[in-house]
Structure 1
Amino acid sequence: MVELWAGFLVSFGVVFVAELGDKSQLMAMTFATRYKTWHVLVGITVATAIVHLGSVAIGFGLGEALPTAWINVIAATAFFGFAAWTLRGDSLTDEERRKAQRPARSAILAVGLAFFLAELGDKTMLATVTLATQYDWAGVWIGSTIGMVAADALAIVVGRILSQRLPERTIKYGASALFALFGVLLLVEGISDLAG
């Protein structure tokens, strides 16, 4: 049970921070201007649960196949990459913005499909794969899914109340610093395991 909670808490925190200022968070804000908030949140939740379940399966498989010390070094490298990716930032293309604003028969299906496609290969998916190599798969799956939905819900609420985004620069630097910190911790642990 301790492993489940550890996986949940770490994954929730990492994915919540990773999602702040991410392209899919911008999509959530855009969809919320067209559809009811609960339709958007249901679509996001279903898509995220599916993508992150696949991510966890990949990460769990890697965790079983590779020695722990090398997993830590690879995971550290991935987190440094996530830090750089976060500093670079994300924005919606005109095509993605048009898709988010186009009316659809079913708002939940439209949002879910858009989020499913947007999350494939995204940093939150890759972070989930990485975390699943280290922590309990169920905790990572539940934590990463709830972390992403919570961050997108926050964006929708803030967007609706304030009609503007969170301070992008602060979020970008804070998220990048947290990814780098996770990278340093994993690298130290991996090098320590390899040396021992």
Structure 2
Amino acid sequence: MLKKRTVCLAAGAFAASWALAAAEGQAPLPPSSSLSPTTARDAIHGGFWQGFIASLSVVIVSELGDKTFFIAAIMAMKHPRIVVFAGAISALVFMTILSAAFGWIATVIPRVYTHYISAALFLIFGLKMLRDGWKMDPNEGQEELEEVQSELKRREDAHEKEETLDMLEQGQAENRRRKRNAIIKILLQAASLTFLAEWGDRSQLATVVLATREDAVGVVFGGSLGHALCTGLAVIGGRMVAQKISVRTVTLIGGIVFLFFAVTALVMGPGD
């Protein structure tokens, strides 16, 4: 429900800015031709690294202890780690590119609107994360870990029943073929579960917002690296990490990071 409300809030904000721009008869301004080639290169270079660092930090504080983290951690306990990592990161990188594309499309709206809308959304995300972290049970991470474990076990039990019936009906040659296809199934399972868990998540919405105000390529690379670090940590030692880290602490830190981006956006202004 919270995810749906946040998605609706973001969509409504961008729609409102479109309407306001149309009402005032403002069209997107083309890039200034007065910039020298050197100045243009410097602006792009600075924008890339700003977007890269912002996206990297937002993804890390959003994904540590998140459902996608636990999915990768639990699957890596039973399946080859490299296969689980490949499936999960492929879904996350695709989601990052898709989210950045949504944000980039929104840049046709005059920058002054998207700048303050993004600042407002970061402020809302930050306050919500601080509120959630403050009220969060210290065992919240363990509860989410158990929830994901239960869901994966249910899926695996159903899959094992289907495999047993197939083995009784099919010959040895077919069984060998099924074993060769097992890796593909694990890859697809990791990718699909991760994609569905990530859709509408905080990090996805934050990526959309960041891409409206920062360099979209920098946002994609920073977000992808952040996802790779979190997913790599999950598949290597996710169970141990999940038991050691405090999801409450990570959530509070994430709230502070989001508020930092909101404040800097308000202080710097759309022209900076």
TM-score relative to the length of structure 2? 0.62
Aligned ranges 1:41-190 → 2 under 5 Å: 41-63=85-107, 65-87=108-130, 88=132, 92=144, 96-101=148-153, 102-103=155-156, 105=182, 106-161=185-240, 164-190=243-269
User: Partners of 1:187 and 1:157 in 2: how far apart?
Assistant: 40
C-alpha distance in 2, partners of 1:169/1:129? 25
Q: CA deviation at 1:22?
A: 2.0
**8 Å Cα contact 2:52/2:223 also seen in 1:** yes
Farther off after superposition, 154-163 or 135-144: 154-163
The answer to whether the 8 A contact 2:70-2:148 is kept is: no
Question: 1:10 — aligned with what?
Answer: 54
Distance 1:86 1:163 in 2: 19
Q: Would you say how many aligned residue pairs link Structure 1 and Structure 2?
A: 191
* Structure 1 residue 85, shift from structure 2 partner: 4.2
| Structure number with larger C-alpha Rg | 2
Q: Are 1:39 and 1:108, in contact at CA under 8 Å, matched by a contact in 2?
A: yes
Mean alpha-carbon deviation: is it higher for 80-89 or for 131-140? Answer: 80-89
> How far apart are 1:165 and its partner, in Å?
4.0
| 1:162–1:188 distance in 2 versus 1, CA, 3 Å | closer
Q: Is the 8 A contact 2:63 2:69 kept in 1?
A: yes
Q: Is the 8 Å Cα contact of residues 104 and 211 (structure 2) preserved in structure 1?
A: yes
Helix, strand or coil: the match of 2:65? coil
- Where does the alignment leave 5 or more consecutive residues of structure 2 unmatched? 1-43, 134-139, 160-181
Deviation of 1:155 after TM superposition, in Å, equals 3.4
1:27 is matched with: 71
Identify if the C-alpha distance between structure 1 residues 70 and 83 changes in structure 2 by more than 3 Å, giving closer, same or farther. same
Take 1:30 and 1:187, find their aligned partners in 2: how far apart are those partners?
Answer: 41
CA displacement, residues 83-132 of structure 1 (integer Å, 9 cap, x when unaligned): 24434268649775444333364211101001111111111110110111
Percent identity of equivalent pairs = 32
The 1:147–1:93 alpha-carbon spacing in structure 2 relative to 1, beyond 3 Å, is closer
In 2, Cα distance between the equivalents of 1:122 and 1:160?
A: 22
CA distance in 2, matches of 1:124, 1:137: 15
User: Shift of residue 144 of structure 1?
Assistant: 0.7
Structure 1, unpaired ranges of 5+: none
Q: CA RMSD in A?
A: 2.5
The TM-score with structure 1 as length reference comes to 0.83
